[in-house]
A and B are shown apart, each in its own frame.
Chain A
Amino acid sequence: EAQVTQNPRYLITVTGKKLTVTCSQNMNHEYMSWYRQDPGLGLRQIYYSMNVEVTDKGDVPEGYKVSRKEKRNFPLILESPSPNQTSLYFCASSFQGRNIQYFGAGTRLSVL
């Protein structure tokens, strides 16, 4: 089954404790992206990747890091999480950025 898998689905952590949210897709997509979704603000892009070893900042990259060492994986790293990073996060992939994106089920992060 074609899918984008995020883990974990729910995470509660404390300020400053490094965390990683994993994202994996099995569709051989070149393009992958991370978004955060906050009430009233919609989906905002954090980082995206056009292909392996190619990453770029989106609209809200501060406080986040990503890597793309393999085509299928695109982890999101929060080196020192802060409460304003409490949000719902989505990973998405597509054949190219100008195509339909397939989204994961989301990761609900709470930073205390």
Chain B
Amino acid sequence: GENVGLHLPTLSVQEGDNSIINCAYSNSASDYFIWYKQESGKGPQFIIDIRSNMDKRQGQRVTVLLNKTVKHLSLQIAATQPGDSAVYFCAGIGGYQKVTFGIGTKLQVIP
């Protein structure tokens, strides 16, 4: 697979446990955030998004929390499965449709 996982923060979790992946952003103008999942050898795929007028949004097994005060996002994955192993990164979108991506976190699920 591709070596995009090198040099990334890594989170190892036991199968069935919950995972929390964090992302800090610096651009105060960002008002829309997206979490992407990138599996080895593939392009990033959309997981969940949240607008800045929200604090929390839930999807299927995933929840995103936004704390604008400290410019922090988190992605929570419930009952983590082996298929969740991937690199996860957040993207912030602000004025002029400028998109900024985080460097990502590698999630390793231990069977």
Interaction A to B: yes
Q: Which A positions have Cβ atoms within 8 angstroms of B? A: 4, 31, 33, 35, 37, 39-45, 48, 50, 88, 90, 92, 96-98, 100-106, 108
Decide if A43 touches B89 in the complex (CB within 8 Å).
Answer: yes
**Given A39-B3, A40-B7; A98-B46 close (CB under 8 Å):** no
Knowing that A42-B89, A43-B89 are A-B contacts, what are 15 other residue pairs whose CB atoms are under 8 Å apart, sorted by A's residue number?
A: A35-B101, A37-B4, A39-B4, A40-B8, A40-B103, A42-B101, A42-B104, A43-B44, A43-B101, A44-B101, A48-B97, A50-B97, A105-B41, A106-B2, A106-B43
Q: Which B positions have Cβ atoms within 8 angstroms of A? A: 2-4, 6-8, 32, 34, 41-46, 49, 89, 91, 93, 97-99, 101-104
Q: Identify the 6 closest CB pairs spanning chains A and B, nearest first.
A: A97-B97, A103-B43, A40-B7, A42-B103, A43-B101, A39-B6
Residues on A with beta carbons closer than 8 Å to the beta carbon of B45? 103
CA of A102 to CA of B91, assembled, Å: 13
Decide if A96 touches B97 in the complex (CB within 8 Å).
Answer: yes
Counting chain A CB atoms within 10 Å of each CB, the highest count among B32, B91, B99, B104 belongs to B99
Counting chain A CB atoms within 10 Å of each CB, the highest count among B2, B3, B44, B46 belongs to B44
CA of A107 to CA of B91, assembled, Å: 21
With both chains docked as a complex, state the minimum distance between the C-beta of A12 and any C-beta of chain B, in angstroms. Answer: 15
